[in-house]
Amino acid sequence: MKTDYTKPILSTKEHIKLLKSRNLIINNYKFAENTLNNVNYYNLSGYLYVFEDKSNSDLRTHNFTDVNFEEVFEFFKIDTKIRHLLLSCIFYIEVYIKNIISKTFTEIYKDTFYNYNIPNNIYKKINMEMEILANNSKELFILHYKEKYNDFPKLPIWISVEIMSLGILSKFYLFSEKRYKEEEAQKMCLNHYKYLEKLLHSITIIRNKCAHHSKLLCISLNKLKFPKQNKEKLKYYSNWINNIVE
């Protein structure tokens, strides 16, 4: 049953007092105070939950046993480092997938603006989103295109993908024609396009959590099952990324 939100606004000192009342050990008061002055308590509470005494239900107990503040913050730091690492990996994956999507699209359809002609309501919505992004973009390559070509805000697919978010990119692929999806999956060493659909969806979720500072550790994600890959092709992609990173 829903109720009105009536929780009082608490200061940093009051938050520390609240944590102590819940049996969280505060070894270094100054450290806890400095941390909560720099990290939103509501953000940190997601990490506190991991260390709480567990009840038989999904309800929070708000109580701790033999847990100190430093341990919770260390967990926060580990989660932050993993998010930064994943974001850097996703960046290279995104660059690669955008290239494959645009190349495969033009190879199959031989039409710069084919996506604007597909009788698909989802595509129409995506195209509307892309036109809004194009109109609001300050990217030099978009501004150059806007000045030079009458087609604006319609963009060639190889330009469109560069301003697509991963979420839009995932939808773009999901609602594409089967023959296009199959061709693209094959280029990525996947023997069925469903694998790529799931991969794009999962990467989008993880990327958004990383970018918006959401807790990543201890969350549930659907397990992705992939077929065994061609080792030589995997080696090629691995070397490509390593060369860029170095």
105 plus 174 within the same structural domain: yes
Report the predicted TM-score, pTM, of the whole model to 2 decimal places.
Answer: 0.78
106 plus 139 within the same structural domain: yes
Number of domains present in the structure of the chain: 2
Of 55 and 169, the one with more pLDDT: 169
Q: What is the pLDDT of residues 4-17, one digit of tens each?
A: 988 889 999 999 99
Is residue 96 one of the residues assigned to a domain? yes
User: What is the pLDDT at residue 120?
Assistant: 77
Average pLDDT (63-86) is 94
Range of the domain at 174: 83-245
Is residue 141 one of the residues assigned to a domain? yes
User: What is the pLDDT at residue 233?
Assistant: 56
C-alpha dist (Å) from residue 25 to 35, 72, 203 = 15, 10, 37
52 plus 127 within the same structural domain: no
Reference 199, options 90, 108, 126; nearest CA is 90
pLDDT at residue 227 greater than cutoff 90: no
54 plus 102 within the same structural domain: no
Q: What is the pLDDT of residues 162-208, one digit of tens each?
A: 999 999 999 999 988 899 999 988 888 787 888 889 889 989 999 99
51 plus 163 within the same structural domain: no
Is residue 74 one of the residues assigned to a domain? no
Phi–psi pair at 27, nearest 5 degrees = -75, -35
